[in-house]
Amino acid sequence: QVQLVESGGGLVQAGGSLRLSCAASGRTLSNYVMGWFRQAPGKEREFVASMPWSGGRTYYADSVKGRFTISRDNAKNTVYLQMNSLKPEDTAVYYCAVRTTGGNEYGSWGQGTQVTVSS
C-alpha cells in the first residue's frame, strides 16, 4: 500500500500560482502512475493530470493544459503539480493518487489539499 500526503494548497488570487506536493511512501514507485484529481463543491471528482513515475508521457485535462505541470522528484519520492494562471473555477480539493502501470483504477489516495482562487 502506498501512503500519500498532499500539501501546498491555500488561498490565491486569480492569475496567481501554487505548487502542490504529494509525498509518497510505503512502496517503490517505479511501477506506478501518479495522478492528480480535484473535486469542487457539488461536483464530481475529475482528473487533472498524470504521469508514470518512471518517466514518460504526461496527460492533462483540457481545462488545465498549458497552465498546470506535473513533475516528480525521485530523491524525495514526491510528485508536484505546478499551477499557474489560476482561475476561480480551479477552486477545489486536490488529491493525488496512484495506480499500477497496468491497472485502470487508482487504489491509493491522499487526504486532499484545499485550493481556493479568489476573483
Q: Is 105 helix (H, G, I), strand (E, B) or coil?
A: coil
% of residues, the chain, pLDDT over 90: 87
The pLDDT value given to residue 2: 92
- pLDDT, tens only, 22-61: 999 988 888 899 999 999 999 999 999 999 999 889 999 9
Phi and psi (nearest 5°) for 88? Answer: -55, -35
Separation CA 71–CA 11 (nearest Å): 22
Location of C-alpha cell 463543491: 41
8 Å CB contact between 68 and 51: no
